[in-house]
């Protein structure tokens, strides 16, 4: 146990000078006359242990603890007390053997605490003492006049002393903590339960809204899916139609290509026949002269033109018949529609007048459109001609650029060439390739030699290593591993000699191999450099060869480009002349366009007013009639155009036929002796005419096929536009899951879902997210309620368990102290019996602990009615009972025996001697009996207001 070794005071109360008091671990008695300053020692002990109550140290203020001065000694500036504990048992949580506590108080009331000369706070000092079980306010410190307070204190305070001795404060602390936790838990449970009820009500409302919202979202999703599926099905249908159109276009294109191919064959055939005629004509020219040849050429050309005109006329007459049939069919449907419209108009006279105005405007528009069509035709041809001119100019520019580029490339490619032509390049490449193969062969031989020398080097190194290991191992073995006989120095010498020979031999082999490898490496590097150089030269020659080849090709392209350039230039001149002619015709198109647009606006305005006032049936019938009339109008325009063309062709045909007859008559006069040649030529010309006729028919077929292809492309373009529009609509439903089924089924599902949404009306869509969020919060709160309920039950169990342990520990301690108290009282006095009694046996912590003194059977005394000496004996009996149960490190008793007579003082001294082995006692007394039992005696005296101490060791 820890005990006080010494105490040093300076400037504390009456101890003006530095005073050191050495304490024994037994009974230390302080004696001296009244007023000498004995009790200042016990005050100093309380001061340094950290007591805050100045009054308990018999002073009014902190500055009163400082030496006030005397007649001959100046006042002290501060008071300090240092207490040294023995820590050999490591009672304190500091590793040093001594613990030095020091407290200094200054005149301003400031206190300074130190532990082993390190400044600390009071809290740190109290914590250190508490760790060792030392309390500055403990009942082991009884100052002057306090001994009887143990008897006079309230019974509950007495119970608390026993609780402290029993060490159940920890249970009380745990219980208080648990009770606080319980109160907090109940408060939180109450709050959370209220929140839970509120959220439950709100959650029920949200659940209803959530169900409506889910139903709405479900049908809204069905609507989106149905719409997306309908768009998707329509797209699929349109795409199938597009595939059909594409297939038809492909077939018509293939058909057109075949016809064109056949046309080319006929063109070639006509060209060959024309060549034969040219040969015949050349022969005739030699004999008949230029006049007859010119005549025959003119006749041949006229016949070809007449035949071409005849074919064109037949084609246009065929188209005219088609137009007439179409117009006739359309005109047949007009009377029925007009009758229906007339019936509808009877109920609307105003409408009839508006229709008449509209018809007048349309007639005027037809005249303007006729003029406009002629000009547009010329404009269209002009635009086409401009495009052709632009294309030709671009083509001409490209050809010019190609010519310039080719010239530059030829010039560039010809620079810095070592060889004049490709043949010299070939010879150089062959020579260099032979040298390269020769060097590669040498390099291969060097590689083989390297492998052989590396093997030699590896074998030599292995043999040298084995020989060295043999030399090393032979020193560490006693028996030969082969013959099992003991090795002698001679054997070892032979092994060393043999190993040295091998090392020398294979060392030379190693040096030779390394030298060879070095030489081969140098040769290998040299050959490698030569091979790289040859490969570079070969690549250079190959590049030159390719450049010569490219130059030849580019020269050929240059010749072609020059010829093409000339031809394009001639075409451009012809096209430019035609452009100027057409531009003069198109000048008046602007005014016609303005008149046309104004007339259309007038018609649209009248139509808009008419349609606004008309009913749907009449409008529909009139629109249908208008479409038919427009179709008839366009058909008649096409018919008129065909008739005009036929008339032009007929007129031209008659002129050409008449001219042909004249030329044939002239030719007959000249064809006397060359009849046979003429007949052959006529035969060929007939073949040419037949071929031209077939070619014209093929051209007509191509035009018809192209019309069909254009019509199919227009239809496909319409479908493409529809698909694109549907796809744009479908973009809105990107990622939506599609529904299987036909369009009719999907539209029915769409209608039903839209009806459901309409019936639902307004919904709170936020309830979906809000419900999940609130439900999550509700579940969390509910879980908290359940958790808090469990925590509450656990706390109740903990409190119950603490109470059980607390009561059990208290009762055990109480019984032991009570027995010791009774025993001690009987030792100190023979007057009766004293014992402790619990006031509330049902709830021991609800009441206190009383002291009962029984003098005789049935005769009890109230402890407060005892004399001062008797109360002191009772208090000392209890004090020593506690010491017996739980010894403290030290006890400080200041004149506890003041009320005792000599006999009782002797008994007290005997008890102190009995317990001195269990603790350290510092006793301030006047009693001789106690002084006799002391181990160390201190005499305190005062001279001129300053206390002094003299110690005496008692054996």
Please state, for a pLDDT cut of 90, what percent of the chain lies above it: 5
For 152-161, which contacts have Cβ atoms below 8 Å and span 24 or more sequence positions?
Answer: 152/864, 152/871, 154/848, 155/839, 155/847, 155/848, 155/849, 155/850, 156/847, 156/848, 157/848, 158/836, 158/848, 158/849, 158/850, 158/851, 159/838, 159/844, 159/845, 159/847, 159/848, 159/849, 161/882
The band of 101, judged by pLDDT with boundaries at 50, 70 and 90, is very high
For residues 819-842, one letter each, b for 16 or more C-beta atoms within 10 angstroms of the residue's C-beta and e for the rest, the string is ebbbebbebbbeeeebebebeeee
Can you give the pLDDT at residue 613?
Answer: 47
Q: What angle do CA 747, 752, 758 make, to 5 degrees?
A: 125
CA dihedral 837→840→844→849, nearest 10 degrees, is: -30
User: Which of 327-331, 640-644, 934-938 has the largest mean confidence?
Assistant: 934-938
Paired strand residues for 949: 940
The whole-angstrom separation of Cα 435 and Cα 199 is 98
Measured CA to CA in angstroms, residue 696 lies from 309, 649, 689, 691, 848 at distances of: 10, 15, 10, 8, 139
- Ranking 60-74, 328-342, 821-835 by mean pLDDT, the lowest is 328-342
Can you give the pLDDT at residue 375?
Answer: 63
Task: State mean pLDDT over 604-625.
Answer: 58
Q: How many Cβ atoms from other residues are within 10 Å of residue 353's Cβ?
A: 12
Q: Where are the beta strands (DSSP E) in 432-571?
A: none
Q: What angle do CA 168, 173, 174 make, to 5 degrees?
A: 95
The band of 420, judged by pLDDT with boundaries at 50, 70 and 90, is low
C-alpha Rg value of the chain to the nearest Å: 68
Task: State mean pLDDT over 738-755.
Answer: 81
Residues of the chain with CATH 1.10.287.510: 422-585
Helix (H) or strand (E) holding 858: none
Can you give the pLDDT at residue 174?
Answer: 67
Helix (H) or strand (E) holding 941: strand 936-943
Can you give the pLDDT at residue 482?
Answer: 45
- Ranking 79-83, 406-410, 887-891 by mean pLDDT, the lowest is 406-410
Q: How many Cβ atoms from other residues are within 10 Å of residue 99's Cβ?
A: 21
pLDDT at 770 over 80: no
The whole-angstrom separation of Cα 468 and Cα 393 is 94
Per the listing, tokens 């050929």 go with: 556
User: Which of 102-116, 271-285, 507-521, 916-930 has the largest mean confidence?
Assistant: 102-116
CATH classification code of 422-585:
1.10.287.510
The whole-angstrom separation of Cα 320 and Cα 218 is 63
Can you give the pLDDT at residue 113?
Answer: 93
Strand order in the sheet with 936-943: 141-142, 890-894, 920-924, 27-31, 936-943, 946-953
- Ranking 740-744, 837-841, 853-857 by mean pLDDT, the lowest is 853-857
The band of 768, judged by pLDDT with boundaries at 50, 70 and 90, is low
- Name the residue among 89, 90, 112 with its Cα closest to residue 101: 112
Q: Are 255 and 712 in contact (CB under 8 A)?
A: no
pLDDT at 760 over 50: yes
DSSP letters of 510-525?
HHHHHHHHHHHHHHHH
Dihedral over Cα of 34, 38, 44, 45: its sign? negative
**Which pair of tokens denotes residue 891?**
């006890």
**Which pair of tokens denotes residue 869?**
């000496």
pLDDT at 250 over 80: yes
Can you give the pLDDT at residue 242?
Answer: 85
Strand order in the sheet with 833-838: 833-838, 849-856, 859-862
Q: Are 40 and 15 in contact (CB under 8 A)?
A: yes
pLDDT tens per residue, range 796-827 = 777 677 677 778 888 888 888 888 888 878 87
- Name the residue among 43, 53, 115 with its Cα closest to residue 79: 43
Task: State mean pLDDT over 72-91.
Answer: 90
Please state, for a pLDDT cut of 70, what percent of the chain lies above it: 70
The whole-angstrom separation of Cα 606 and Cα 595 is 17
Can you give the pLDDT at residue 290?
Answer: 47
- Name the residue among 158, 192, 380 with its Cα closest to residue 837: 158
Can you give the pLDDT at residue 20?
Answer: 92
- Ranking 145-159, 765-779, 817-831 by mean pLDDT, the lowest is 765-779
Q: Are 924 and 41 in contact (CB under 8 A)?
A: yes
pLDDT at 58 over 90: no
Of 655 and 539, more confident: 655
Helix (H) or strand (E) holding 114: strand 111-115
The whole-angstrom separation of Cα 404 and Cα 408 is 6
DSSP letters of 372-426?
HHHHHHHHHHHHHHHHHHHHHHHHHHHHHHHHHHHHHHHHHHHTT-SSSSHHHHH
Task: State mean pLDDT over 565-582.
Answer: 70
The whole-angstrom separation of Cα 621 and Cα 614 is 11
Q: Are 316 and 649 in contact (CB under 8 A)?
A: yes
Q: How many Cβ atoms from other residues are within 10 Å of residue 612's Cβ?
A: 8
Would you give the DSSP letter of residue 117? T
The structure's pTM equals: 0.39
Can you give the pLDDT at residue 689?
Answer: 75
pLDDT tens per residue, range 272-289 = 887 887 777 666 655 555
Can you give the pLDDT at residue 344?
Answer: 62
User: Which of 109-113, 360-364, 871-875 has the largest mean confidence?
Assistant: 109-113
- State the alpha helices, DSSP H only, in 765-890: 766-828, 868-885
Architecture of domain 1-138+890-955: 3-Layer(aba) Sandwich (3.40)
State the chain's maximal CA–CA distance in angstroms. 197
Average pLDDT value for the chain: 75
Would you give the DSSP letter of residue 62? G
Q: Are 193 and 785 in contact (CB under 8 A)?
A: yes
pLDDT at 114 over 90: yes
The whole-angstrom separation of Cα 376 and Cα 365 is 15
The whole-angstrom separation of Cα 278 and Cα 286 is 12
Residues of the chain with CATH 3.40.50.300: 1-138+890-955
The whole-angstrom separation of Cα 125 and Cα 119 is 10
């Amino acid at each position: 146990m820890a005990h006080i070794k010494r105490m040093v005071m300076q400037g504390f109360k009456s101890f003006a000078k530095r005073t050191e008091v050495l304490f024994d671990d037994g009974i230390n008695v302080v004696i001296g006359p009244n007023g000498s300053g004995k009790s200042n020692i016990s005050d100093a002990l309380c001061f340094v242990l950290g007591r805050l109550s100045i009054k308990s140290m018999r002073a009014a203020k902190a500055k009163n603890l400082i030496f006030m001065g005397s007649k001959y000694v100046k006042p002290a500036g501060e008071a300090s007390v240092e207490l040294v504990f023995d820590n050999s048992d490591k009672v304190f949580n500091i590793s040093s053997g001594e613990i030095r506590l020091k407290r200094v108080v200054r005149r301003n009331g400031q206190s300074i605490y130190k532990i082993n000369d390190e400044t600390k706070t009071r809290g740190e000092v109290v914590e250190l003492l508490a760790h060792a079980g030392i309390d500055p306010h403990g009942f082991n410190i009884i100052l002057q006049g306090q001994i009887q307070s143990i008897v006079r204190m309230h019974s509950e305070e007495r119970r608390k002393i026993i609780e402290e001795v029993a060490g159940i404060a920890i249970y009380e602390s745990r219980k208080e903590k648990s009770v606080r936790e319980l109160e907090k838990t109940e408060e939180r449970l109450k709050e959370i339960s209220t929140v839970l009820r509120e959220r439950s009500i709100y959650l029920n409302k949200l659940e209803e809204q959530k169900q409506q919202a889910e139903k709405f979202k479900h049908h809204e999703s069905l609507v989106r899916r149905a719409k997306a599926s309908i768009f998707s099905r329509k797209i699929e249908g349109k795409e199938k139609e597009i595939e059909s159109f594409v297939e038809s276009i492909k077939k018509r294109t293939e058909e057109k290509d075949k016809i064109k191919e056949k046309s080319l064959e006929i063109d070639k055939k006509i060209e060959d026949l024309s060549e034969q005629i040219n040969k015949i004509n050349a022969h005739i020219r030699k004999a008949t002269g230029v006049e007859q040849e010119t005549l025959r050429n003119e006749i041949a050309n006229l016949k070809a033109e007449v035949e071409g005109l005849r074919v064109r006329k037949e084609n246009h007459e065929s188209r005219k018949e088609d137009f007439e049939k179409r117009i006739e069919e359309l005109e047949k449907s007009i009377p029925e529609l007009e009758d229906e419209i007339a019936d509808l108009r009877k109920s609307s006279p105003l409408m009839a007048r508006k229709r008449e105005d509209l018809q007048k405007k349309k007639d005027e528009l037809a005249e303007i459109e006729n003029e406009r069509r002629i000009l547009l035709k010329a404009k269209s041809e002009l635009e086409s001609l401009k495009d052709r001119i632009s294309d030709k100019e671009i083509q001409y520019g490209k050809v010019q650029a190609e010519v310039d580029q080719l010239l530059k490339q030829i010039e560039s490619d010809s620079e810095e060439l070592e060889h004049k032509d490709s043949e010299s390049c070939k010879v150089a490449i062959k020579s260099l390739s032979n040298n390269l193969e020769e060097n590669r062969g040498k390099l291969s031989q060097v590689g083989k030699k390297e492998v052989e020398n590396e093997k030699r080097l590896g074998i030599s190194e292995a043999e040298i290593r084995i020989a060295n290991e043999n030399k090393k191992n032979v020193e560490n073995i006693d028996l030969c591993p082969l013959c099992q006989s003991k090795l002698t120095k001679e054997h070892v010498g032979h092994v060393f000699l043999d190993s040295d020979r091998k090392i020398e031999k294979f060392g030379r082999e190693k040096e030779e191999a390394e030298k060879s490898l070095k030489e081969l490496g140098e040769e290998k590097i040299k050959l490698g450099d030569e091979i790289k150089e040859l490969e570079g030269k070969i690549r250079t020659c190959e590049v030159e060869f390719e450049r010569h080849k490219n130059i030849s090709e580019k020269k050929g392209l240059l010749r072609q480009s020059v010829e093409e350039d000339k031809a394009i230039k001639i075409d451009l001149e012809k096209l430019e002349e035609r452009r100027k002619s057409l531009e003069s015709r198109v000048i008046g198109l602007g005014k016609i366009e303005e008149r046309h647009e104004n007339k259309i606006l007038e018609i649209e305005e009248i139509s808009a007013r008419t349609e606004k006032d008309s009913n749907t049936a009449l409008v529909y019938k009139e629109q249908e009639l208008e479409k038919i009339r427009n179709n008839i109008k366009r058909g008649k325009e096409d018919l008129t155009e065909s008739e005009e063309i036929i008339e032009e062709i007929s007129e031209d045909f008659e002129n050409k036929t008449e001219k042909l007859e004249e030329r044939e008559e002239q030719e007959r006069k000249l064809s006397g002796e060359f009849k046979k040649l003429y007949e052959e030529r006529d035969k060929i010309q007939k073949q040419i005419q037949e071929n031209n006729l077939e070619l014209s028919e093929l051209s007509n077929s191509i035009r018809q096929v192209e019309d069909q292809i254009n019509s199919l492309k227009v239809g496909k373009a319409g479908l493409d536009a529809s698909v694109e529009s549907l796809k744009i609509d479908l973009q809105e439903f990107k990622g939506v899951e599609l529904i299987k089924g036909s369009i009719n089924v999907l539209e029915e599902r769409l209608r039903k879902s839209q009806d459901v949404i309409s019936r639902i009306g307004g919904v709170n869509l936020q309830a979906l997210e809000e419900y999940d969020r609130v439900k999550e919060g509700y579940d969390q709160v509910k879980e908290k309620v359940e958790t808090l309920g469990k925590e509450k039950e656990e706390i109740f169990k903990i409190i119950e368990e603490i109470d059980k342990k607390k009561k059990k520990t208290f009762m055990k301690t109480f019984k032991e102290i009570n027995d010791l108290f009774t025993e001690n009282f009987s030792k100190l006095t023979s007057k009766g019996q004293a014992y402790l009694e619990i006031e509330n046996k049902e709830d021991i912590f609800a009441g206190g602990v009383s002291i009962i003194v029984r003098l005789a059977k049935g005769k009890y005394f109230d402890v407060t009615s005892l004399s001062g000496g008797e109360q002191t004996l009772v208090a000392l009996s209890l004090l020593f009972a506690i010491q017996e149960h739980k010894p403290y490190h030290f006890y400080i008793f200041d004149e506890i025996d003041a009320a005792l007579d000599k006999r009782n003082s002797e008994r007290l001294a005997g008890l102190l001697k009995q317990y001195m082995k269990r603790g350290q006692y510092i006793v301030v007394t006047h009693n001789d009996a106690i002084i006799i039992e002391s181990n160390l005696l201190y005499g305190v005296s005062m001279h001129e207001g300053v206390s002094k101490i003299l110690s005496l060791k008692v054996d």
